[in-house]
Structure 1
Amino acid sequence: MMTMPSAPQLAVQASVKRADEILVVDDTPASLQLLADLLTEAGYVVRVAPEGAMALHSALARPPELILLDVRMPGMDGYELCRRLKAAPQTCNVPVIFLSALRETTDKLRGFTLGAVDYIGKPYQAEEVLARVRTHIDLHRLKTRLAEEVEQRTEELRLSSEELEEKRAQLQALMGFMHQVREDERTSIARELHDELGQSLTALRIELSWLRKHCAPLGEVVLERADAGYALVEQTVQSLRRISEGLRPGMLDVLGLCAALEHLVSQFAERTGVSCSFSADADDYRLPENGAITVFRLVQEALTNVARHAEASQVSVRLAQEKNSLHLCVSDNGRGFASAQPRQGFGLLGMRERVLLLGGEITIDGKNGTHIDVRLPLVKGE
């Protein structure tokens, strides 16, 4: 058993940090005392145990910074003690150094296999023991500090990720609100244009038509002016209809999505001269709220991009139901773009946000023309 330390030894122990504590396990009293004195003089706090069971109880009660362990001991030998120490969560990370007269390679390999960090053969040099002890204590401290920093950084990243996700959710909610406000404003403006200005222009067109019929006796100049006024009003009415339909397609509310898209595609082909086809495998789809206007706006934006950038001669718009989702595909044979660095204009960003708001998926491929694939969830039937 360990002798009582002297007064100077107590002073040294009091000045040493808790992290410098070493547990020495050896069934030979002389060897145990020699190691205890050597380590104490080097400035370590030393706990001793003459057999395995006591050492295990001591280590589990208060894990040391390092354990020096003999192999051959009565009852629980060093190998078994090391195995139990490494199996316990309290001591699994405590470095263990075997210090034994067994110097065969197989003995050392067995110790390393059980989790020891080093193996010193007896008889040993005091300087070697102290050097290895210091090395492994420093390594253990660095490992512990690194693990704490990693854990702290992981927690910071988790909190940052949660905060970022919360901001993302708030931004999506704001985008959804902005889209809804914009659609409401478009609907209101389109209704006012149709109901107020449209009716006034229609009345003016009727009056001009009457004037055209009755102003022939007044001369060709008056008739030409009446014809010019009538043509101007007619052009204004057509422009008004086009603007109104662009703001809020009335056909979408009256006849449904497929009819509105077919009309949109037809108007696009007529206006741009680009061949454009539309196909759908159903007359209507059970889309969630704002689903129909979202699909319409996606196609509208895609066709706008084709007219502005694609230099295409053919465009196809296809709708198909796949299980519980609606598949929208818009393809053209234009010049496309580099898929690795696609254009990130507000048009594409807006399309992505609209799809994400409805819980859908969108992929945009710029190889061999531009291909936009969108999948939106359908409302399940009863």
Structure 2
Amino acid sequence: MAASNFPEDTLAGACAEYTQAVSKVCERYGFDFVAIGLTAFVGAPLKWIYSAGATGERHKRIVLAPGHGIGGIVIKSGKPMLFTDIDEEIDPQEYSSYPIVFAEDLRSFCALPLKKGGRVVGSLLAAFRSVDENHVDVYRRMIDDLDGTICDLEVVSEGFMNFEKIVEEKRPAKSDAPIPHSEITRIIGAQEDERKRISRELHDGIAQELWSVSFSLKRLHGMVGSEQERTIIDEAGSNIERILDELHNITVELRPSALDHLGFASALRSQAAIFEKTYGAEIVFEGDLTTERFPQALETQAYRICQEAILNACKYSDSDKIHVSIENAGGWLHVSVSDSGRGFNVDSPEIRGSGCGLPGMRERANLIGATLSIESGGSGTTVTLVAPMGMDGGVA
């Protein structure tokens, strides 16, 4: 593994300085949230280590691979980002790509790459939880006052990335005509088949090729003579490991192999582990099953429903802990996903993201003859699925 840009003794010595720096920036300019995210070495994930104005500790559990999330994009591109109105400037379907936005309920932010030794090793994030046309002036004033440095890090403030604004009139018109139930069944079945095919190709094709390259690099490591050459090989190996982790996450989200080989509960735990790293919320599983396997259609649809329920809780509830209860009794599968965060109006929910989550969950429940109930209020949200375990047919 390549040498760390931030050795442990360096991090320990800089901790107080970085903490003081983010607090000073937050207070001086009136930001709602300021954070410095750092990587342990080139190609490693970023974590938001130092912060001021946070609503809790959730953001510190977010792990961002290069190219993912605000910090990951900034590190990979080496360019600053600026959004003054997230709801207007980011496609709602892309919200999940920015977990810090959900963790801290941000509406406007400026993210600046941080360099050390000529390499981008971190990101400075300054943000508001409101929208105001004067925010741009605040960001500019901060950049001018920093004058290219914060603590021992170089601040990059030129070459801002340009993002196309996604406005309402550009979004495709929605039809009010209902889709026939048989057609929905066919569409969902086709989606699952395609998810399974792509997941298998990624795992059996690209991932295996990368493993082969990684093995060759390890063999090459012992053949080269200079330390510099070994360092370059180590960095390449670390990048391949990161890509493999990313591919694994993608294949799990598409169609986890555990769902086909180990069953519903194991697959859901595997997906929850990824959500924990991405969104920072702790996901606690409770209950016991008397059998590990159910009919394939039940496993698939129950998994997708619970996957969506957990994802929604991670993204929207602002809750640090999510409870998932799984048990079976009397021929029925009982699953509940609950949080103690901010609730929503079940009858008229605020649409964020694609707006297809809750209707899709209900439709999948109908396909397996299950009952899906959603209760939400000031004390949090609970999604409960009760499905017959002896159901036949359906969409797998």
TM-score w.r.t. structure 1 length? 0.52
Which residue of structure 2 lines up, in the alignment, with residue 115 of structure 1?
Answer: none
3-state SS of 2:222 partner? helix
- Whichever residue aligns with residue 311 of structure 2, its letter is T
The answer to whether the 8 A contact 2:199-2:254 is kept is yes
Q: Using a 3 Å threshold, how does the CA distance of structure 1 residues 370 and 348 change in structure 2: closer, same or farther?
A: same
- 2:345 is paired with a residue whose SS is coil
2:102 corresponds to? none
Aligned mate of 2:374, from 353, 361, 364:
364
Contact 1:318 1:330 in 2 (8 A): yes
1:376 alignment partner in structure 2 = 387
Asked if the contact 2:196/2:255 (under 8 Å) is kept, the reply is yes
- Separation (CA, whole Å) in 1 of partners of 2:338 and 2:305: 13
Cα distance in 2 for partners of 1:232, 1:286 equals: 37
Deviation digits for residues 13-60 of structure 1, max 9, x if unmatched?
A: xxxxxxxxxxxxxxxxxxxxxxxxxxxxxxxxxxxxxxxxxxxxxxxx
3-state SS of 2:380 partner: coil
Q: 2:230 matched to 1:223?
A: yes
Q: Does 1:175 align with 2:184?
A: yes
Aligned to 2:104: none
CA contact (8 A) 2:306 2:337 kept: yes
- Given candidates 294, 304, 308, the residue that maps to 2:311 is 304
Matches within 5 A, 1:29-108: none
For 1:292 and 1:183, how far apart are their aligned partners in 2? 12
- CA drift of 1:378 comes to 1.7
CA shift in 2, pair 1:370/1:213, >3 Å = same
The CA deviation at 1:358 is 1.3
Other-structure match for 1:341: 348
Q: Is the 1:324–1:380 Cα contact (8 Å) retained in structure 2? A: no
Task: Give, in whole Å, the separation in 2 of the partners of 1:355 and 1:245.
Answer: 21
Structure 1: give runs of 5+ residues left out of the alignment: 1-166
Answer whether contact 2:334 2:386 (CA < 8 A) is retained: yes
**Counterpart in the other structure of 1:280:** 287
The match for 1:206 among 194, 215, 238 is 215
Give the letter for the 1:297 counterpart: R
- 2:252–2:271: 8 Å Cα contact kept in structure 1? no
- Looking at structure 2, the residues matched to 359 and 380 of structure 1 have their Cα atoms a distance apart, in angstroms, of 8
Report the secondary structure of 1:366's partner residue. strand
State, as a whole percentage, how many aligned pairs show the same letter. 30
Question: Following TM superposition, by how much is the alpha carbon of 1:340 offset from its aligned partner in structure 2, in angstroms?
Answer: 4.2
Is 1:245 matched up with 2:252? yes
Distance 1:323-1:380 versus aligned 2 partners, 3 A rule: farther
Q: How far is the alpha carbon of 1:380 from its aligned partner?
A: 7.2
Report if aligned partners of 2:285, 2:325 keep a CA contact under 8 Å in 1.
Answer: yes
CA contact (8 A) 2:262 2:292 kept: no
Deviation at 1:221, TM superposition (A): 2.6
What is the identity, as a one-letter code, of the residue corresponding to 2:272?
Answer: V
Counterpart in the other structure of 1:196? 205
TM-aligned CA distance change 1:220 to 1:281, over 3 Å: closer
Residues in 2 aligned to 1:323 and 1:380: alpha-carbon distance in whole angstroms: 13
Q: Residue 111 of structure 1 corresponds to which residue in structure 2?
A: none
Q: Which amino acid aligns with 2:322?
A: V
Give the Å deviation of 1:286. 6.4
Aligned mates of 1:380, 1:204 — CA distance in 2: 46
| Letter in structure 2 aligned against 1:370 | T
Offset at residue 278 of structure 1 (A)? 1.0
CA deviation profile, 1:221-242 (whole Å, cap 9, x unmatched): 3222111111111111111111
Specify the alignment match of 2:49 in structure 1: none
Aligned to 2:273: 266
1:265–1:278: 8 Å Cα contact kept in structure 2? no
Question: Whose radius of gyration is greater, 1 or 2?
Answer: 1
Counterparts of 2:270 and 2:215, CA distance in 1: 28
CA apart distance, 1:331: 0.3
Residue deviations 1:171-209 (CA, integer Å, cap 9, x gap): 111111111111111111111111111111011001111
Give how far 1:349 is off.
0.9
Seen in structure 2, the aligned counterparts of structure 1 residues 340 and 177 have a Cα distance that, compared at 3 Å, is closer
Question: 1:327/1:303 Cα in 2 relative to 1: closer, same or farther (>3 Å)?
Answer: same
User: Do residues 186 (structure 1) and 195 (structure 2) align?
Assistant: yes
Distance 1:227 1:174, change over 3 A: same
The count of residues paired between Structure 1 and Structure 2 equals: 212
Per-residue deviation at 1:295?
1.2
Contact 1:256 1:284 in 2 (8 A): no
SS in 1 for 2:341: coil
Q: How many angstroms apart in 1 are the aligned matches of 2:187 and 2:243?
A: 30
Give SS of 2:387's match: strand
Residue identity opposite 1:182 in structure 2? Q
The residue type equivalent to 1:204 in the other structure is V
Counterpart CA distance in 2 for 1:195 and 1:347 is 30
Corresponding residue of 1:351 = 361
Q: Give runs of aligned pairs for residues 320-339 of structure 1, distance below 5 A.
A: 320-339=327-346
Deviations 1:121-163 (A, max 9, x none): xxxxxxxxxxxxxxxxxxxxxxxxxxxxxxxxxxxxxxxxxxx
CA deviation after TM superposition for structure 1 residue 354, in Å: 0.4
* TM superposition shift of 1:305: 1.0
Structure-1 separation of matches of 2:229 and 2:290: 51
Asked whether the equivalents of residues 263 and 293 of structure 2 are also in contact (C-alpha less than 8 Å), the reply is no
Amino acid at match of 2:384: D
Cα deviation for residue 303 of structure 1 reads: 1.7
Q: Distance in 2 between matches of 1:270 and 1:284?
A: 29
Shift of 1:254: 1.3
Letter of the 2:305 partner, please give it. L
1:289, CA displacement in angstroms? Answer: 4.0
